[in-house]
Chain A
Amino acid sequence: GAVVSQHPSWVICKSGTSVKIECRSLDFQATTMFWYRQFPKQSLMLMATSNEGSKATYEQGVEKDKFLINHASLTLSTLTVTSAHPEDSSFYICSARETYREGVSGRFYEQYFGPGTRLTVT
């Protein structure tokens, strides 16, 4: 259980174009999803937190207009990199946290991670 998928797993796009990455929770509902960015040989950096039906919360220094996040359903969040440039090339990982259930502790805080999407902008 608790499987998160990402699509595509790898994408190459030309500079100036936009690319959309999907993150899906396959066997649970996720009110909250998270988007991370990872540069080569570095750690994960949280970009934004998305909540179903509301605007995403971006971390300091992350451009909201460049990285558009939509969380339209309890199982899908999308990250759109607009007007991509080579410096946007990175490994993007999403995670999902199960919708809160009364009486269930601990698991509420756990994030389940997707396999990641490698974006290369040429």
Chain B
Amino acid sequence: AQSVTQPDIHITVSEGASLELRCNYSYGATPYLFWYVQSPGQGLQLLLKYFSGDTLVQGIKGFEAEFKRSQSSFNLRKPSVHWSDAAEYFCAVGGRTTSGTYKYIFGTGTRLKVLA
């Protein structure tokens, strides 16, 4: 069955420090992978996505993610965090389920706190 694991529920970093948010997935075929950010009371904003090709994906707001098939991972990185990056981050995997339907499965999220 499809699943997504975000091991870190909370992460705190200082402004200007680098960031890595972890995401591991379980899926039987090549997955479609996404990272979303959500500010309190707001909807989801797509940061980046991976469908195929180059395994290092560039997104908005200076974020990037690397797809590693051997590790079943799609970790999100940013070299220098800004205070405005404080939010909830969700990793999602999309694909066809065993029943033939297309769905997204979301991870539990990682809440990022940025210290001034």
Contact = CB atoms under 8 A, between A and B. Distances in A.
Interface of A: 32, 34, 41-44, 46, 49, 57, 93, 95, 97, 105-106, 109-111, 113-116, 118
Interface in B47-82: 49, 51-52
B101 A109 contact: no
A34 B42 CA distance: 18
15 contacts: A32-B102, A43-B106, A43-B109, A44-B44, A46-B103, A93-B43, A93-B44, A105-B51, A109-B32, A109-B51, A109-B102, A110-B32, A111-B94, A113-B36, A113-B43
Size bin of chain B's contact surface: 20 to 34
Interface of B: 32, 36, 41-44, 46, 49, 51-52, 88, 90, 94-95, 101-104, 106-109, 111
Contact of A111 (B41, B101, B104, B111): B104
B89 to A, nearest CB: 11
Contact of A110 (B88, B94, B111): B94
Contact of A118 (B41, B49, B106, B108): B41
